[in-house]
Amino acid sequence: MVASAQTTVSRRARAASLVNPANIILLCALALVALGLTILFSASAGFKKGPYFYLNKQLIGLLAATVLCFVASRLNLDYLRRYAWWIGGACLVLLALVLVVGISVNGSRRWLGYGSFRFQVSEFAKLGLVFCLAHYLALNQTRIAEFKRGFLYPGGIIGAFALLTLLEPDFGVSALMVAVGMVLMFLAGARWRFIVPAFVAVSAVFTIAVIQNPNRLRRMTEFLSEEKSYQLRQGLAAFAAGGVEGAGLGQGRQQLSYLPEAHTDYIFSVVGEELGLFFTLAVVLCFTVILIAGLFHLRRAPSLFHFLLVLGSLLLICVQAIINVGVVTAVLPTKGMSLPFISAGLSNLLLMGLLLGIILNSQRRWGRAGLPAGAGAMREVRA
């Protein structure tokens, strides 16, 4: 009887571990990666370098991202936290270096590299910002309600990262940094009366910067007008051509040099054209499940630092997906931003591997803490 009861308990424990929110996030990410590889092969059909060009590059990137994911899942984040300021400082130095010796493409200087190898520094700077901000807010959690410790100093951290990114210029990533940073500040306990005026001021700065550039102003407002850009029209035409059932894999026409950036920013349109409505809804559902599962997972956080770090990682994935889907469907202003786990692009793929690794790391570490749900999320052990 006792042995039978123990067996039943162990089976339930194993079943509960399999249904862990972090495992659900991993399964959704793997499903998105599989879809991305399939669509990238199809999107390469009309490319002059051959039908396997993007697929081969993505497979190499996935291998590197898998290694980074494994490493991140095994790191001792509390130990790594001791070097939070060094990590943040290195990211700021690299962002400044991009402005001096970075590779310029289409008027934007965002990449470092040599020859065909290049990486986008701002992608990794997003994680550097989250790491520094989580460390600072957790270290000063008893004084977050103060103006200096709870708003001015963390606001300065966000501003340093966002300003250097804005100078590239990269308005989208800069806005993403500000949005994620302010959410982390608010949830850590910063006061609304400080955050709301700051948000209004930052919005005003962004608006002025956009208005002063006629080309950028046109891109930011064209989604509201009937005269949409060629790229946006072709993206919407892809959804219309796909309908409910889709044209079939390899049967789409937009990626045959009709739709610019079909393998990166507008890959969601290729999904809609070739696989139809249900697959596009499935992509949205996967990101929705990632967000909801992540929020449930956060209830088990043993400290404020872990809570903010995992929440920031979760937001970097889901908010980027929201922006990409919104832009491609003409709901949001035009902004080049990859669709996580699906779009081609080494830098963003490596970042997704790191973010996923941090979430899986928390599954291992938080399970050992032995704390009831939510018991330690607001308690911090100083490093």
Q: Hey, CA dihedral for 254, 258, 263, 268, is it positive or negative?
A: negative
pLDDT band at residue 253 under the 50/70/90 scheme: confident
CA distance 320 to 111: 19
pLDDT at 163: 93
* Tokens representing residue 190 in the block: 């910063």
The H-or-E segment that residue 273 falls in is helix 267-275
- Look at residue 381 and tell me whether its pLDDT is greater than 50: no
pLDDT at 47: 60
CA distance 180 to 182: 6
- Look at residue 378 and tell me whether its pLDDT is greater than 80: no
| pTM recorded for the entire structure | 0.89
- Look at residue 348 and tell me whether its pLDDT is greater than 80: yes
- Look at residue 216 and tell me whether its pLDDT is greater than 80: no
pLDDT at 51: 65
DSSP code, position 109: E
- Look at residue 183 and tell me whether its pLDDT is greater than 90: yes
pLDDT at 50: 63
What does the buried/exposed string (b/e) look like for 156-175 if buried means 16 or more CB atoms within 10 Å of the residue's CB? Answer: ebbbbbbebbbebbbbbbbb
Q: Do residues 39 and 267 touch, judged by C-beta distance below 8 A?
A: yes
Which tops the pLDDT comparison, 218 or 10?
218
pLDDT at 361: 95
pLDDT at 25: 97
At residue 7, the 3 state secondary structure works out as helix
Q: Give the full edge-to-edge strand order of the sheet including 108-114.
A: 103-105, 108-114, 117-120
Give the domain ranges of the chain: 23-369
pLDDT band at residue 43 under the 50/70/90 scheme: low
